Structure formats: C-alpha cells, structure tokens
Structure 1
Amino acid sequence: MSVTVIVSLKVEDFDKWYAAFSSTSGKREEAGIQAKGHRNIDDPNNAVAIGTAASKEEFLGFFTTPEMQEIQKDAGVLGPPDVTFLEEA
C-alpha cells in the first residue's frame, strides 16, 4: 500500500523552485514517486509538494540523496522541509 506524502518548504522564489521541481519529474517517476507542486495562497514563498510513494522508506531514500539535496539548495530552498506521511484509513 502506498503512502501519501506532503512536503512543505520555505523557498526564496516559488517559480525558481517549481522549475527545479518540474525538471526532476523523471527522477521521481523512476523512484516510484508521483507528486504535484503547489503554492500556498497565503504565503507565496511556501512551496508544497503532495504525492504518493511506495513507502516512507522509499521516499526518504530518494529525497535525502546528495543529488536531491543539491537540487533543493540550487532551487532556493531555505531550510529543512516539513514532511508528513499519511496512510489511508
């Protein structure tokens, strides 16, 4: 059973972050992760990605790689993300 993942990030510029997020769609698909990017209406520098992964471990294995950390840094992510994992009831 897959898990739903919500990742909330503070970013310098949403459009810059979204361009980087979009450019990694193939990498996410290869890792079995489906996600869409969203902008917080009340805080335009809050980027939120909502998606699914096979498991929490699979997601973290992908998200915490040095390559993904560098992509996030280059995309203007300002600090550690707030990540929530949900399972369907």
Structure 2
Amino acid sequence: MIFRRKREQAAQKPAASQATAISDERQETLGRMVALLDREFITGSLDRKSYLEMRRSCEQELERSGSCPSCRAPNEMEADFCIFCGSALG
C-alpha cells in the first residue's frame, strides 16, 4: 500500500524527482537488508548480493511469523497484503 502510494506520487513528479524516489527505495531496501544481517536472519555480504543466504531456522521462523512469500518481509499475522511489496499474503 505504501509503495503503491509512492509510485503514484513518483509518476506525477518530474524525472529528476523520480531518480530521487528510486534511490530512496533502494536506500529503504538496503536498510532492511542491513537489519536482517544484524539480526543474523541472513548471512553474507551486501557487496555480493547473490551470496546472501538465509539460515534454514530463520526461514521457518519467518514462515510462521506471517512473512511475505515474495519479498520475505515480515508482516502482521492478520494482514491480507504485504506492506512492503503489496503481494497478497496467503
């Protein structure tokens, strides 16, 4: 929902503002990845994103906690849609 609103706002802004919006989204994503690394949900290096791995026990914990199947972001258990990517939660 939040990203949809941001995308709609970005579509109405000039091109220079769109570049800023894209970098803001990348910054948010990077922040989430750093938080997951700090909590040791994932291991690896942000410099080599293809080498990031999630520990199996953390995957199971995220599945139980109402995480999004698309982006694996944590959501509230009773949520219908992911607050990060907007995917339907099953």
Q: Structure 1 length as normaliser, TM-score? A: 0.35
Q: Structure 2 length as normaliser, TM-score? A: 0.35
Structure number with the bigger relative contact order (C-alpha 8 A, sep ≥ 6) is 1
- Considering fraction of residues, name the structure with more strand: 1
Max Rg structure: 2
